[in-house]
Structure 1
Amino acid sequence: MDLTREHCRAIIYHNFSRGLSQDKCLSELVSIYDVETPSQTTIYRWHAEFRRGRVSLSTVSSSGRPRTAVTPENIAAVRTIILDDHHVTYEQI
């Protein structure tokens, strides 16, 4: 069976709802799904999220600054700077 992240979260939530501890949830997932089981850290993190009252299984996309500034415009601008002066430093770029 191919487990997606959402499937794993649903299983963790189900086990949390049944009152299983983090360790029991982990051992049950390992006994059923073996190598496809999420990491212990992942299981513990989601278990803690549900204990704090979270009910959503999807990740929340955060607003604000994007993680990366890689855009075609930025790539072209950096390429132009480097081609104009091969000795340009990282700080100058």
Structure 2
Amino acid sequence: MVFNDFKCNLTAQQNFARLRSAFGDKASCKTTIYNWFAKFKRGRVNLSDEEFCDDRSSTSVNNKNTDAVRRMIETDRHVIYHEIRASLGMSQIQQILPKYLGIKKLCLW
């Protein structure tokens, strides 16, 4: 659906709205959609590659990862999503922060 919307000249924002309308909370996050659109703009068309798949496995959210995120934030209150994701190598930060740590805002960049 993301690739089709891209090929139909919809914007990432329009695609995200369509996905949210169709799938609700189960839709990919906004960041993922924007990343896919950026890859498509750079010429990517192969969708079967594992690297391209969203790594939202339920095992990403566990006590170990939640504690690691908590420690990073306690160590540096100005840490940003990008740094946490890069340091821990996982994409579940936006789920861990509000649901498990009660944090509602953190700088994206």
TM-score w.r.t. length of structure 1: 0.51
1:52 to 42, 47, 50: 42
- How many residues matched? 51
The aligned residue for residue 9 of structure 2 is: 19
Report the AA paired with residue 16 of structure 2.
L
> 2 CA distance for matches of 1:23 and 1:32?
14
> 1 CA distance for matches of 2:22 and 2:48?
23
Question: Which of the two has greater helix per residue?
Answer: 2
> 2 CA distance for matches of 1:34 and 1:13?
19
Q: CA 1:36/1:51 → structure 2, altered by over 3 Å: closer, same or farther? A: same
Name the % identity: 33
Structure 1 unmatched runs, 5+: 1-10, 62-93
Root mean square deviation of aligned Cα: 1.3
Structure 2 unmatched runs, 5+: 52-109
Per chain length, whose mean CA-contact separation is higher, i.e. which structure has more relative contact order (CA < 8 Å, sep 6+)? 1
Report the AA paired with residue 28 of structure 2.
P
Larger radius of gyration between Structure 1 and Structure 2: 1
| Helix, strand or coil at the partner of 1:28 | helix
Consecutive aligned runs of 4 or more in structure 1 exceeding 6 Å deviation: none
How do 1:47-86 and structure 2 match up within 5 A? 47-59=37-49
| Helix, strand or coil at the partner of 2:46 | coil
The aligned residue for residue 32 of structure 2 is: 42
